[in-house]
Structure 1
Amino acid sequence: MRETDDAAVTAWERRAEVPLMLLALAFVVAYAWPVLDPRLDPDLRTVLNAFSWAVWVAFAVDLAVRLFLAQERRSYAARHWYDVALVVLPILRPLRLLRLLALLRILDRSAASNFAGRVLVYAASVAVMAVGLGALAVLDAEQEAAGANITSFGDAVWWACTTVTTVGYGDRFPVTFEGRAVAVVLMVVGIGLVGSVTASVASWMLARIEEERRPGRDRESS
């Protein structure tokens, strides 16, 4: 029975992953547009906000279906805590970007077949997402705050790069609670990211060297 339920969940995830990825990408546009253009027409801002909530509803429905198909619902929810988080925490604007975790399911299928290649794809994707989305999130939280020094997208990208790489020059820093929450997430991501990228690149290079040496060894043995 458990295998049937798991198969049903897997089948649903495969059918839903591409639409969810497209919704996540569209959500980035709907989220980023008002942040990058504070003077956006109020009517258009309302439409984009409504679309953002529509995306949240889509992710909530997806989670509800998967929980319905799973036999061990509590265990499934615990294993997919990030999906629960992106449905339960939609109120905090920076955390709404967690909906983009749906992209990781697409990356898992398109990554290289070997473990090192998969980790490298994940690490590179997380790095790009962390910098870009972290910059958007901190700019959203900071640009209208009193005493803020992160007031443009360029400032936000610079801050995100220095934070995710754990350099931290200190010339740009968040002053709001939401901005500092984004900073904490980027710091945690950065600590693991630097080591993961280094290890993944080294493993990939060693694997390529081993592949290049193998034909020569085969000819010698023959």
Structure 2
Amino acid sequence: MRDDPTTREEDWERRTELPLFYASLLFIAGYAVRVLASRSEHLWRDAAGIVVLLTWLCFIGDYAVRLVLSGDRPLRFVRRHWLDSLIVLLPTLRPLRMVKVHDAVQARRERPRRGLYQRVITYAGLSAVLLGFSGALGVYHHEHRDPRSSIRTFWDAVWWVCETLTTVGYGDVAPVTPAGRVIAIGLMVCGLALLGAVTGSFSSWLIQVFRREDEEEPPGNRGSPGAP
């Protein structure tokens, strides 16, 4: 039924997923200008601050509309949509909704959904890039003015993010502020999850390919390696 709260919420989410994804890109761009622009560039910093505030209000408004459409109690809605609740507080985590964004793009173009392995690789790759860039901005913002920190430039932050997401961890640069370490914990968790998803998907794909080759191989060629 069209009046069902779940249906109304899903319709709203399907229609707003792409616009909100573009809004998240604007948020990240505005945040980047705000962090990287010099203090003398007041006009750019003020404009970027307005963009960040407006896009953040869009996320809050979307969350409020979905709460009303769902018909749930606030606490139940928060538990059911814990990731969305976290994204409202930390909009830079919006890339974690990349799967739904990808499905929305495919549906908008009336294309069938890609295979599971392609979707996992696409999701992991785009999420790693956007989360990595957001994490580098956040760490640089909190670390570069601290005299104890070894992260002095934005490229130091990018290098550190690459080490963290790939679980290499050379230890040559590391955050020392409380906010920087919280960001580090988040990136460590996301890096392990993304790396595990890609590795598991790739291994499963290889097993599937080898199994298909074995099934297509003629029975006469399936002898043991030592057979003449």
- If the TM-score is normalised by the length of the shorter chain, which range does it land in? 0.7 to 0.9
Residue correspondence of structure 1 range 79-94 to structure 2 within 5 A: 79-87=80-88, 89=89
**C-alpha deviation, 1:144, in angstroms:** 1.7
Provide the aligned length of Structure 1 versus Structure 2.
211
Residue 107 of structure 1, CA deviation: 2.3
Q: Conserved in 1, the CA contact under 8 Å of 2:24 and 2:94?
A: yes
Change (3 A) 1:13 1:214: farther
Deviation per CA, 1:124-162, whole angstroms, max 9, x where unpaired? 222222322211111111122222211212211110111
- Runs of 5+ unmatched residues, structure 2: 107-112, 219-228
User: What is the aligned partner in structure 2 of residue 10 from structure 1?
Assistant: 10
Q: Is the 8 A contact 2:140 2:154 kept in 1?
A: yes
Partner of 2:200: 199
Where in structure 2 are the equivalents of 1:1-222 lying within 5 Å? Answer: 4-39=4-39, 41-73=41-73, 74-87=75-88, 89=89, 95-109=90-104, 112-208=113-209
Q: What letter corresponds to residue 186 of structure 1 in structure 2?
A: L
Which whole-Å CA distance do the structure 2 matches of 1:69 and 1:46 have between them? Answer: 35
Structure 1: which 5+ runs fail to align? 90-94, 218-222
Q: Read off the aligned partner of 1:106 and give its amino acid letter.
A: V
Superimposed CA distance per residue, residues 29-58 of structure 1 (whole angstroms, 9 cap, x where no aligned partner):
101113223345112211211221111111
Measure the CA separation in 1 of the matches of 2:40 and 2:101. 32
Shift of 1:100: 4.2
Instruction: Look up the match of 1:220.
Output: none
| Alignment TM-score, normalising by the size of structure 1 | 0.82
User: Partner letter of residue 29 of structure 1?
Assistant: A
Give the number of the structure whose alpha-carbon radius of gyration is greater: 2
Alpha carbons of structure 1 residues 19 and 40: separation in structure 2 relative to 1, 3 Å: farther
Assess, with a 3 A threshold, how the Cα gap between structure 1 residues 102 and 192 changes in structure 2: closer, same or farther.
Answer: closer
Correspondence for 2:221: none
Q: Aligned in 2, Cα 1:133/1:212: closer, same or farther, shift over 3 Å?
A: farther
Q: For CA contacts below 8 A with separation 6 or more, give which structure has more relative contact order.
A: 1
> Matched residue of 1:146: which SS?
coil
**Residues 26 and 40 (structure 1), Cα distance of their counterparts in 2 relative to 1, 3 Å cut:** farther
Q: Hey, what's the Cα distance between the residues in 2 that align with 1:100 and 1:118?
A: 14
Structure 1 residue 208 displacement after superposition: 4.9
Give the TM-score normalised by structure 2.
0.80
- Does structure 2 conserve the Cα–Cα contact (< 8 Å) formed by 1:166 and 1:191? yes
